[in-house]
């Protein structure tokens, strides 16, 4: 029998990825500084976890996260998102918005750059609403 609580899939100083038995990933970003390798590892493990389960949904908690750098934004938009959609089946992202305004702006750039992909993002200020919306998606 599966546990009702999410289990740890991957963790480094940048973030934790949890597998939620409700059929989604939870990514919880930390306030820690990160390097390119650590940053990309989180995203690459997201794709692997989606593939592993055949899931299409990610709840992304950015409340404590530092802003994406310009290089990180570019990599996510140009390389990771197309791969996550094509190889990982990523379709729905529910984002708990950061407290930091620069992080919110950097995230807005990414979430508005998915126009040519079959991917829907919604942003929320509370976890219950973010999870509820995500669970309503097919």
CATH number where 91 lies: 3.30.750.24
Quote the number of domains for the chain.
Answer: 1
Range(s) of the domain holding residue 55: 7-136
Which neighbouring-strand residues pair with 26?
A: 18, 59
Q: 65 in a domain, yes or no?
A: yes
Low-confidence ranges of the chain (pLDDT < 50): 1-2
Q: 89 in a domain, yes or no?
A: yes
Given this model, what pLDDT does residue 8 score?
Answer: 98
Q: 18 in a domain, yes or no?
A: yes
Q: 1 in a domain, yes or no?
A: no
Q: 28 in a domain, yes or no?
A: yes
Given this model, what pLDDT does residue 3 score?
Answer: 52
CB 106 within 8 Å of CB 68: yes
Given this model, what pLDDT does residue 1 score?
Answer: 41
Q: 127 in a domain, yes or no?
A: yes
Rounded Cα–Cα distance for residues 51 and 32 (Å): 27
Is the pTM above the cut of 0.85?
Answer: yes
Pairing of the two strands 92-96 and 7-11: unpaired
């Amino acid at each position: 029998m599966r546990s009702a609580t999410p289990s740890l899939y991957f963790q480094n100083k940048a973030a934790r990825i949890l597998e939620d038995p409700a059929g989604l990933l939870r990514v919880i970003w930390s306030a820690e500084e990160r390097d390119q390798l650590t940053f990309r590892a989180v995203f690459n493990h997201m794709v692997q976890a989606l593939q592993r389960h055949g899931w299409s949904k990610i709840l992304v908690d950015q409340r404590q996260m530092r802003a994406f750098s310009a290089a990180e934004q570019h990599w996510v938009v140009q390389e990771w998102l197309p791969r996550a959609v094509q190889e990982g089946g990523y379709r729905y992202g529910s984002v708990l918005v950061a407290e930091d305004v620069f992080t919110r702006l950097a995230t807005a750039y990414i979430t508005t750059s998915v126009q040519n992909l079959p991917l829907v993002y919604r942003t929320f200020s509370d976890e219950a609403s973010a999870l509820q919306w995500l669970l309503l998606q097919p």
